[in-house]
Amino acid sequence: MRTPTAARAGQYAALLAYLVFLALPFLWLVSTAFKPPRELASLHPTWIPEDPTLANFRQAFEEQPLLRAALNSLAAAVGAAVIAVLIATPMAYVMARRRGRLTRAATGWVVISQSFPFVLLIIPLFLVLKRLRLVDSVPGLVMVYVVWALPFALWMLSGYVRAVPVELEEAAAVDGAGRVRTLVSVTAPLLAPGIVATALFAFVTAWNEFFFALVLLKTPEKQTLPVVLTHFIGAEGVADLGPLAAAAFLATLPSLVVFALIQRRITSGMLAGAVKG
């Protein structure tokens, strides 16, 4: 019979193995980004570059418009994050406070919608954007990202709303505050950590998204960073490995920084929703 200590050691070992499994590709990406062509072509690759160089980064910026693509990604990600939070906050409040068949159905739909594949959504979204004349535009891409981010934003913010004591809102109502005034002056400040975490999550999701940007954006000047990264791969599938690794490393850094900022807040939001039910 296994002791609790042995079981806990096994759990830590499994967690460590999983972390190593996730970290190895990123570490290899960083190593490749700083290797000169001679080391990249070596039959005996090493983890640590023997002669580290920044030439891959210079070549990446010379070959592709990475800065312009990064600005496009930044505009799409920031726009999607702001709009998604503005829409999701009042909706999450209603879903958390108004208990009934309609809100339960809405919650169920939010959960189910997360399982929809991208391919199922792209055709109706494309038709809507075509009618609005927003195909091949960053604003159109922002609309798509908002639609994609809303379900998780609603679910996450609902957990934060449930964690706010109802007694505070009742006290504000006794003092004469209306529903809107209560939401703005009492509930919203307490939801600030959740709103920030949700916005940052929507930002990361939009920043890393590839499929919608590939389908909807055809003009090279409007393409986002994940799409531009594919240009380092030739027509025959041969990749310019050094510059590609350097560009991918730079594209990954914002996501890592943002996720490091929000990972605790995401966990607290999940726990809050679980505790308050």
In this model, does residue 265 exceed pLDDT 90? Answer: no
* 159 and 71 within one domain: yes
Q: What is residue 270's predicted lDDT score, i.e. its pLDDT? A: 47
The reply to whether 187 and 270 lie within a common domain is yes
Instruction: Supply the pLDDT for residue 91.
Output: 84
CA distances from 143 to 148, 158, 218 (A): 9, 22, 17
Considering the domain architecture, whether residues 222 and 198 belong to the same structural domain is answered as: yes
CB neighbour list of residue 242: distance below 8 Å, 6 or more residues apart: 32, 33, 35, 36, 37, 40, 55, 56, 59
Segment 22-67, tens digit of pLDDT: 788 888 889 999 998 888 888 888 888 888 899 999 999 999 999 9
Structure-model confidence comparison of residues 223 and 109, the more confident one: 223
- The residue among 1 and 152 whose pLDDT is bigger is 152
Residue 25's pLDDT is 86
Domain that holds residue 137: 56-276
- C-alpha of 76 from chain center: 12
Residue 97, pLDDT > 80, answer no
Q: How many domains does the chain have?
A: 2
**Pair 4, 123 in one domain:** no
Asked if 32 and 168 sit in the same domain, the reply is no
Q: What is the pLDDT of residue 145?
A: 93
Are 64 and 136 in the same domain?
Answer: yes
Mean pLDDT computed over every residue of the chain:
82
- Comparison of pLDDT for 141 and 174, the residue scoring more: 141
% of the chain beyond a pLDDT of 90: 27
Q: What is the pTM of this model?
A: 0.80
Contacts of 69 (CB under 8 A, 6+ apart): 223, 224, 225, 227, 228
Q: What is the pLDDT of residue 126?
A: 87
At residue 200, the pLDDT reads 87
Co-location of 174 and 41 in the same domain: no
Q: Do 42 and 83 reside in the same domain of the chain?
A: no
**Looking at the predicted structure, is the pLDDT value of residue 269 above 70?**
no
Structural domain ending residue among the three candidates 38, 53, 68: 53
pLDDT score for 237? 64
Q: Are residues 41 and 2 in the same domain?
A: yes
Give me the CATH number covering residue 138: 1.10.3720.10
- Residues 107, 43, single domain; the answer is no
* Better-scored residue on pLDDT, 276 or 211: 211
pLDDT band for position 191 (cuts 50, 70, 90) = confident
pLDDT tens-place string over residues 102-147: 766 766 776 676 677 777 778 888 888 989 999 999 999 999 999 8
- Do both 201 and 220 map to the same domain? yes
Residue 224 neighbours by CB distance under 10 Å = 30
One domain for residues 75 and 204: yes
Band (pLDDT 50/70/90 cuts) for residue 100 is low
Domain ends where: 37, 53, 69?
Answer: 53
